[in-house]
Structure 1
Amino acid sequence: MTSTKTAPVSRRSFIKVGAAAGGVAAGGLAAPAVLAQAPLVLKMQTSWPASDIWMDFARQYVERVEKMSGGRLKIDLLPAGAVVAAFQVLDAVNDGVLDAAHSVPVYWYGKNKAASLFGTGPVFGGSATTMLAWFQQGGGQEFYRELTQDIMGLNVVGHLGFPMPAQPFGWFKKEVSTVADIQGFKYRTVGLAADLLQSMGMSVAQLPGGEIVPAMERGVIDAFEFNNPSSDMRFGAQDVAKNYYLSSYHQASEAFEFLFNKDMLEDLDDDLRAILEYSVEATSTANTAIALDNYSADLVKLQTENGVTVHRTSKEILAAQLDAWDKLIVDLETDPFMKRVLDSQRAWVERVVFYEIMNAPDYALAYNHYFPGKLTL
């Protein structure tokens, strides 16, 4: 945490400065009754390139924190690589090099595979909204705290926000409709999805978003997924592949991770700490709105302006993904912590998704009624 003059400012020193300034004001006839305190400036880095739409999503968080704090908090928002690489923000927040980060848990999967259970684990039938509700209401946040603080010994606090639409299977140079079609592909993904798709016959490389297209151009990979039409289009996916497959079980319930240095949080006044936390929830709603607007509009642009053919992933491949998850779950559950998390998620999904599916009308039926001929499933 830094002041506007770049000198470190703790909560205690910040209060002392304010108290001293108040004393000067009380003793000087010409001084104003209240002297404005300089804002606390938090250094927050994302895991996204500067051009990614997710930087806009992160800015929505910054705007809400600064407005709700009345200017007492300012956030210096930085793109991936400004201080550390995209996959290194967890270490940087833990070490106090960064005060906060905007990322996803799967980016520290290399430290502990259980990271993938918070957004990119097995899909028992729950959407990202369902699983974010599990995190907030079904015990997920305590599991996350146990993993990061007790098991891994990290000096961080994390919150999840923005239930992402299911991630596409991704970008391919030619059409793929069967499991046989994807054999031998050099494919980019991250987290447990790497284990999943490798078991289905792919050769997997784990890369941050900003390195994907250069890797395609060099032939390091020949197929990939990242996350959504807007991010994919901004980093040039349409320039290196023309077949875009939506719908997949490899990463179907992800959310953003908002990481904070634990000491920094504990050094803040209670109201400022609450603003940092509850702004995650406020931003989640705002992110959903701009995501649906931009993702849908950019999907149209990819088709009409860039010659991309949009497909829905075949049922054969989707069924094979579920079979592959079944086998992977057996291995994951040899770890006692992961077994407890997966048991909790299964119990949540069994109850909650039964209600969701039974209660939801057939939206595809309504869509086809009003927009006949557009939807091919």
Structure 2
Amino acid sequence: MHTGDKTAPVAETAATKTRRTFLTGAAAATGAVAAGVAMPNIARAQGTTLRFQSTWPSRDIFHEFAQDYVNTVNGLSGGRLTLELLPAGAVVGALQLQDAIIAGALDGGHGVAGYWYGKNKAFSLFATPPAFGWNANQMLGWIRYGGGQALYDELVQQVLGLDLAGYLMAPMPTQPLGWFKQEITSPEDLKNLKYRTNGLAADMNQKMGVAVTIMGAADIVPAMDRGLLDGAEFNNPTSDRLLGFSDVSKTYMVQSYHQGSECFEVIYNKTKLDSLGDEVKQILKVAADAASADMVWKAMSRYPKDLQALKDAGVNVIKTPDSVLQAQLDAWTQVVDELSADAFFKKVVDSQKAWAKDVVGFELEWEVPRSKAFEHFHG
């Protein structure tokens, strides 16, 4: 269960135990080497296999996205570096991934930075930031060209002193408000509702009187089935369909400001990563960019089909009312104002707001509205 700052990452003793178990009892399996362009000058990484776990169940499309990244890395390395992908729970649970990588039980992993916000709430600014009017692709533009990567590195390696290095990648569409026992018609319907979300969205929802719980993807539907949750959000129609949300609810509220932009995070044990050399680091970064583009295109193909499949299965898809959206924005203002008492959090937020003002302002002035053309040709 989660109440504000009380959500904490896995204890160090658990991570240490995991590392000991791994070192003494688990032999590293040899992953399948993907065919790719040979790069014979990368001698330092020759024959290296890294144990790489996702935070997603194997049936989720997010684990498939993680596999796409792994395949890209393995192909670009020409067989000299192999990532061996494991699903959530293979070594540790989803919310224990970061500590397991620091401890050396895993070499790297695929997830979202918001999962670590129990260590520092600024982590969520690099995963599910406030609704500043931007989308996830514009947020990643801030990471690449607005100073976001340097701020992320500062948080991980200086503010917290963690032996980690990460790449932020793969912009996601706006997330739905989620699955509920009955339609949400006003902000009052959310008060005291037992609801799953993660990151700063937890703080925002608490300002609206929601009783928030944080849990990994695999646990959400069973919790709803047992009545431990009244509502929950995960991410997208494909994941939600594969995870079985429609088995426990037929009310799907779409459009929300609680997580209007989100991206994935790929993290590695920094000591291990540095030992592989700069050329391998470049492969991992280029692979993140390539997998980002491919994920966006794959989502375009899959998400509409799965949303229609949910409708065909009797799911009632309902737009979140404007009164709830406005209440979310008001709650975001409170969260940003309060957490900006922390100097580092404020530095990141100020940077994000300046970027969003320029980039979104340009888009709104420059881009022609698509809705008119869509209605003209599609009705």
TM-score range, shorter chain: 0.7 to 0.9
User: SS state of the match for residue 98, structure 1?
Assistant: coil
Partner of 2:373: 366
Instruction: Please give the TM-score of this superposition, normalised by the length of structure 1.
Output: 0.88
How do 1:203-222 and structure 2 match up within 5 A? 203-222=211-230
- Post-superposition shift, 1:119? 2.2
Separation of aligned partners in 2, 1:270 and 1:157: 13
1:122-170 alpha-carbon deviations (Å, 9 max, x no partner): 1111110111110111011111111111011100101111110011111
Q: Which runs of 5+ in 1 are unaligned?
A: 9-36, 373-377
Correspondence for 1:180 among 172, 185, 188: 188
Aligned to 1:336: 343
In the alignment, is residue 348 of structure 1 matched against residue 365 of structure 2? no
Match of 2:243 among 208, 229, 235: 235
1:321 is the counterpart of 2:328: yes
Structure 1 runs of 4+ aligned residues shifted over 3 Å read 5-8
CA displacement, residues 95-123 of structure 1 (integer Å, 9 cap, x when unaligned)? 22111110000111111111111121211
Q: Using structure 2 for the length normalisation, give the TM-score.
A: 0.87
When the two structures are aligned, how many residues end up with a matched partner? 342
Q: CA RMSD in A?
A: 1.8
2:187 maps to a residue whose letter is V
1:298 correspondence with 2:306: yes
User: In the aligned structure 2, how far is the partner of 1:193 from the partner of 1:344?
Assistant: 20
Please point out which of 280, 298, 305 is paired with 1:272.
Answer: 280
Asked if the contact 2:181/2:250 (under 8 Å) is kept, the reply is yes
Offset at residue 353 of structure 1 (A):
0.7
State the one-letter code of the partner of 2:51.
K
Deviation at 1:245, TM superposition (A): 1.2
Question: 2:70 corresponds to which residue?
Answer: 62
Correspondence for 1:145 among 125, 129, 153: 153
Match of 1:90 among 94, 98, 107: 98
Q: Percent identity?
A: 46
Distance in 2 between the 1:241 and 1:357 partners?
37
Question: Which residue of 2 is the match for residue 309 of structure 1?
Answer: 316
Matching residue within 269, 284, 305 for 1:261: 269
Q: Secondary structure at the match of 2:308?
A: helix
Query: Is 2:140–2:169's contact at 8 Å kept on the other side of the alignment?
Result: yes
1:250 and 2:245 matched = no
Contact 1:188 1:223 in 2 (8 A): yes
Tell me which residue corresponds to 2:39: none
State the 1:7 CA deviation. 7.3
Contact preservation (8 Å) 2:28, 2:51: no
Q: Distance in 1 between matches of 2:145 and 2:318?
A: 35
Deviations 1:204-240 (A, max 9, x none): 1111110001100111101000000011111110011
**1:246 Cα deviation (Å)?**
1.3
Distance 1:7 1:322, change over 3 A: closer
- Which residue identity is paired with 1:346? K
The question of whether the paired residues in 2 share the 8 Å contact of 1:119 and 1:131 is answered with: no
Distance 1:213 1:297 in 2: 21
Q: 1:270 to 1:38 in 2, by over 3 A?
A: closer
Q: Which residue of 2 aligns with 1:18?
A: none
Report what 1:99 is aligned to: 107
Pick aligned residue for 1:357 from 361, 364, 376: 364
Given that 2:171 and 2:261 are in contact with CA atoms closer than 8 Å, whether structure 1 keeps it comes out as: yes
Q: How far 1:289 moved relative to its partner?
A: 1.1
Alignment of 1:34-183 (within 5 A): 39-183=47-191
Q: Distance in 2 between matches of 1:132 and 1:99?
A: 24
In 2: Cα distance, 1:184 partner to 1:220 partner: 13
* Residue identity opposite 1:175 in structure 2: E
How big is the shift at 1:203? 0.8
Contact 1:65 1:279 in 2 (8 A): yes
Instruction: Give the C-alpha shift of residue 6 in structure 1.
Output: 4.6
